[in-house]
Structure 1
Amino acid sequence: MARFGNKLSSYSIAQLSELLEDDEKLNQIVQDLEEVQEVQQNKETILASNRSLAEQNLKLQPRLDHQKNELTKRYRCLQEQFEAFQLRKSTLDHMSGNTSLDTLLALLQAEGAKIEEETENMADTFLDGAVPLDGFIDEYQSKRKLAHLRRVKIEKLQELVLKSPTTVVQVARHPEIASAPAPLQNEPDSAPAPQPRRAPPLPPIKNLSPQSQPAPVMYPPPVPQRSAPRMAPQPGFILQ
C-alpha cells in the first residue's frame, strides 16, 4: 500500500479529482498493484488446491460407501453370532442346571418385538418423506432380515423348551441301562460249561499193583461210545 500512496502523491489536484470521479480508472490502478496481484494469485492457488482435494474425495466416495456397507454387514453378523452364542450358552447352562431356557426365550421375544417396532417406525418415517429412498431400502432390508432371523430363533427355542423335559428323562434313564450287570456264565441254573476233550486212560502196565494206580477221573464223553470187547485174561494183567 506504500507504493499506492507514493503513486497518488505524484498526482495533481486536478488528476486526483478526475480519479475520484472515474471509478473504473481507480479500480484499474488498484488491480495493478503488486500486493493485490499477489493476493489474487494466492487465492487462485488455494482454489485450485481445494478443487484437487475435492476431486480426490469424490474418487474415494465409492470406496467409502463400500467400507460403510462392509461395516454394517459385519456388525449385523456380529449381532447374529452373539445371539447364537447366547442361545448355545443358555442351552448348556440349562443342561447343567444353572439357568432356564425360558429366560432366554423371554429375552429373544423382547428383542424381536423391539426390532419389529423399529421397522414400523422406519416405514412411517419413510412415508412421511423424512428419509430418502436409497438409504431407506438398505437399512430397512437389513432390519427386516434381522427381525426374521430372531423370529426363527424364537420358534426353535420354543421347540427346545417343549422338548427339554423329555430329553432330561431320556438322559436320566441311560445310566440305569448302562449300570445293569452283565449275566455271569456260571450261574446255578445255567447249563454246564463245555469241558475239553481228553483221551481215554491207557491200560494198566505190567507188574503194577492196584494200589499204584491213580483214582480214575470221570469225564463225560462228548459222543456216546460202544463198550470195548472183552479180552481173554492174560498173565500179568488185572481186569477191571
Structure 2
Amino acid sequence: MSYPPYPVSQQPADSQPDYPAALSSLQHMDVDSLKEILNNEDKFDNFIQNLQQIKNLHEQKELIMASNKSLAEYNLSQEPLVKEQKAQLLEKFQAASSLAEKVKGLKAEIDNKSGKMTPDSLLILLEAACSEAEEESEEMVESFMSSQDNSLDEFLNMYKDKRKLAHMRRIKIDKMRELLARNNQQRRSDQVLSPVRQAPLPPRPRT
C-alpha cells in the first residue's frame, strides 16, 4: 500500500526577520561601500539576495513546491482506486438496502398471516439481520479505507459496536437453531412412542 508524500513544514507567516544576522554583514563595510549599496539598486538587490535568511527562504520555497507537486501526483495516481472503492461501496450499500427491504417485507408478510412470529420465522429474521450487520461493518471498513478525513478512534468505536451487534445476533441464531432442532427431535420421539391407532375396519355386509 502506498502512502502520500510527507508534507514539508512551512515557516510561520508572522516570523520576524533575522535583523542581527543581516546587520552583521554591514558592520564590516566602510561608509563608501554602504553608500554604494544604498544608491545602487542592483547592488542593493544583490546584497539582499545574498543574505542567508533569503537563501533559506528560496530553498524552503523550492522544497514546498516539490512537495506539493509530489502530493498532487500521488492524489492523481490514487484517483482510479478511489473511484473503484466508491463503486464497490455503492454496490454494497445497494445490496444492504435491498436486504433491509426484504426483511421488512418478510416481517410484514408474517405479521399479516399469523399475527405473531413463529420460531422458524424468527430464525429467518435473525439470519437476515445478522447478514445486514455484517454487510454494514464491511461497508464501514471500505468507507474508512477510501477516506482520509475519518477519525481512527471514532471508526474503531463504531466498528466494534457493529461487530458486537453481529456477534450477538449470530449467538441468537445458533441458539434458535439448537432449540428448533431439539423440538423437532422431541416431536419425532413422541410420534415413535405414541403411534397413531388405525381406524377399525367397517363391518362386513351380511349375505
Give the shorter-chain TM-score range. Answer: 0.3 to 0.5
Q: Please, what TM-score do these two structures have when normalized by structure 2?
A: 0.45
Q: Please, what TM-score do these two structures have when normalized by structure 1?
A: 0.40
Considering only CA atoms, is the larger Rg found in Structure 1 or Structure 2? 1
Answer 1 or 2: which has greater helix percent. Answer: 2
